[in-house]
Structure 1
Amino acid sequence: MTGVLTDSTADIHADAPRDVAETIVAAASEAMLLTDAESRSSFLNRAACMLIGSDRRRQSTGRLMALVNGMIQRATNDRSFRSHLDLLANDRQSAHASELRLRGVMPRLLSITSQPIDPQGRRQLWIVREDRQLSRQAMDCRSCAGEARSIHDALLARTRALSEARDLADASRVVAEQASRAKSEFMAHLSHELRTPLNAVLGFSEVISRELLGPSAVPAYVDYARSIHQSGTTLLGLIDDILDLSQVETGRVTVRLRPTDLAELVTGLELDEELRPGVRLATDLPQGRIVIPGDPDILARAVLHLVEVSANVAPAGSTVTIRAFDTGTHAGIEVIDAGSVMSAVEIENALAAFGDTDSQIARSGRGRGVGLSLADALIRLHGGRLVIAPRGNGGMVTRVLLPRG
């Protein structure tokens, strides 16, 4: 019997392994990929496709570069990974390693290695491993939240059986809680689904704006790509904030208290001296130590949001100041800016989940956004509170008050 190979049959097997190396990579459970500098192609296994948000195993160099560039927009610091790529460009016959830490209340730490599989180093095997301890912590948080919801629903069912009046009251409360939980879970799911296509938008726009595949015939296209990349980065930050706020509201964040020095926490923040064009950063830290019980990762995340909010509203030529203080009964951190002054109603709205500030500020693209409500939620996990007040000479003071213990 003679068979005919049709185009559709070729498409079905287009992603199938073509040699022993690809077969081994395809069977691996952890994220692996092969890159071939000579044929400018790559082969990914299923775990690698899920990691970078791809629907195809076999990729061209341009598409893989775009997807990876889009993914690392969520990285808090990609200098290690960038150095990895620079070393590989100069020495393809040696193994190299780096780390990539992705943003979030529950961060992901990725360990990345590359090694040649031929003497000339034309083909490289990449292995990406995730820090298992962080993954287990995230799974524990989700498990505890699920068990808590199950117990809570069972108690509500028993309470409704006591009396008709209490049944009506409990039914109303259940409806409200389910609506709130459904809203938070929907926002979390929507944020996750938006990340995959947005990674591609960011990656391809960076490839075009940096002209990585060759110079553009129309210079205006490069400017358009930069604008797309800048807008996409802003949108990705907002998506991450919404997802983090949803995780806090649904009880998926666990605070692990340990002695934390607020001055060291501020010093350890990965911030540039120039927060944005024309806006400088300054710090005012005490000589001694200010130690409180806290989770340094979550507190740092909250302070970074406050600094980002202040930098967004600060006028060009001004300074955003971070100050650590100790009043004896409370310790905390202040973020001081020279931006627009908010009224009491605007402050209340900004601290509410998914609230908004003055519409004119929001339309200008310099609103205080969801960052304040997320920072407030993270601080309340520590038993603290966020106090916002206008400065005497203009601008706002955002004060984080934390208990001493």
Structure 2
Amino acid sequence: MPTTGHDTAEPTAAAADGAPRREPFGRLADGTEVHRWTLSRGGTRLRVLSYGGIVQSLEVPDRDGRAANVSLGFDRLDPYVADSPYFGALIGRYGNRIAEGRFTLDGAEYRLPVNDGPNSLHGGDIGFDKRVWDVTPSAPATLTLRYISPDGEMGYPGTLDVEVEYALGERGDFRIDYRATTDAPTVVNLTSHVYFNLAGEGSGGIHDHRLSLPASRYTPVGETLIPTGEPATVEGTPFDFRRAKTIGDDLRAGHRQLLHAQGYDHNLVLDKGSTPEPERAATLYDPSSGRLMTVSTTEPGVQFYSGNFLDGTLVGTSGRTYRQGDGLCLETQHFPDSPNRPDFPSTVLRPGDTYRSTTVHSFTVR
């Protein structure tokens, strides 16, 4: 499997309290060593892999002060390489789907690997989730991950220089800052694919979680989950989360859109649009633990995925199997298939410009 990158610090098993710590996490088939980094601050502990920039675990306290991992994942490297449905990974060059694995930019057509039915998903079959990133730590609780994607990789034009910063704030909030530059026109849509279960990884389904999203519209999709037209109102549909409701309330409603995706796997169009600073995009609450997560972002959309394709064949860090609905994703991003939809917010990046995006996950209890 093609990889690039390495960790740029010496082993830090005896790092000072609060500083990032590094430990081995296995080797890829070509001998490349993968490391796991640990950040701790404000009651939150984050573990990140150099492979895929993967959030391997994210521990936050409940209303009684008991910490638990709220992110789905594996305790070994092998299943991340062989079987992972993007657990915790950085996604690029293009998060979400591009219809028929093709798009046209400045009059030239580009073809991408088709890895999701007739479409290209999450950057192709060897996307950023399967690359080894350079990792540079900085105190008190920050990691900078870098990957240089060469011109033509997975069919995308231009050499893309990507930096992603993971940081824990003083109150334990988890911030992700994305930056990218290119030497030729290209398309970029970066995101993080963490599967959340605020009751704790391996504890069961997320259908009792309460979700709110300030989104008055969503992008309906066809049978292959590509947007079919203009954004539609959420009024009177299962996609109306403008007021908090339990995720399971409408999940089995029989709505055609839910049948297409076997649940929720849709882009919600945030009322705020793209913003220079992060603004609220979602609030997720688990009544059993009292954990409440607020997601803020600069992005114009959130892909809400209810873990529809988890099928009981994967064993997580707790030693328990993951079944349908045992985790959910709130992927902050631009819209699916935007390179083929000039009416959607543009994902084109040109030389001399810098792609910037920020998402913050803030944790409290109720």
TM-score by length of 2: 0.28
Q: Which has the larger radius of gyration?
A: 1
**Larger proportion of helix:** 1
**Larger proportion of strand:** 2
Greater relative contact order (Cα < 8 A, sep 6+): 2
